[in-house]
Amino acid sequence: MLFYHYLNEIRPVILQTNKTQSNIFILSGAGKRIFPGIINRMINEGKKPHEKLLPIKIRQSVIAHFLKANNDIRLVQVFAGHRRAGSTEEYKQSGLEELKANISKLHPLQ
């Protein structure tokens, strides 16, 4: 919903205000390209060091989530921009990894 709102309401205003046309998805208020480092700063502004999100971790978790939801591996491959299906398959989590995650989350000594 956040991107839908940006794409349909905020982005057109940015383009109109700056009298520009652009194929870039995320633009600054000046209608220019926003670089990944700036997005990273915006996401983590005011967060404690242990709460900070890394864009690569977000990307990895989205790919893993799509695979876990039994989406076709070729569709996820295209979505992720991988050239080889093997690169996408590396994001599949085995049942053992899920079990370890649940144990560490629910273990009474935690």
pLDDT digits (tens, 9 = 90+) for 45-64: 888 988 888 878 888 889 99
Q: What percent of the chain has pLDDT over 90?
A: 22
Which pLDDT value is given to residue 38?
82
Looking at the DSSP bridge assignments, the partners of residue 66 are none
Q: Under a CB-based contact definition with an 8 Å cutoff, are residues 6 and 13 in contact?
A: no
pLDDT digits (tens, 9 = 90+) for 13-46: 988 898 888 888 888 888 888 887 887 887 888 8
Q: What percent of the chain has pLDDT over 70?
A: 97
CA distance 34 to 3: 15
pLDDT digits (tens, 9 = 90+) for 54-93: 878 888 889 999 998 989 999 999 999 999 999 998 888 7
Q: Under a CB-based contact definition with an 8 Å cutoff, are residues 47 and 57 in contact?
A: no
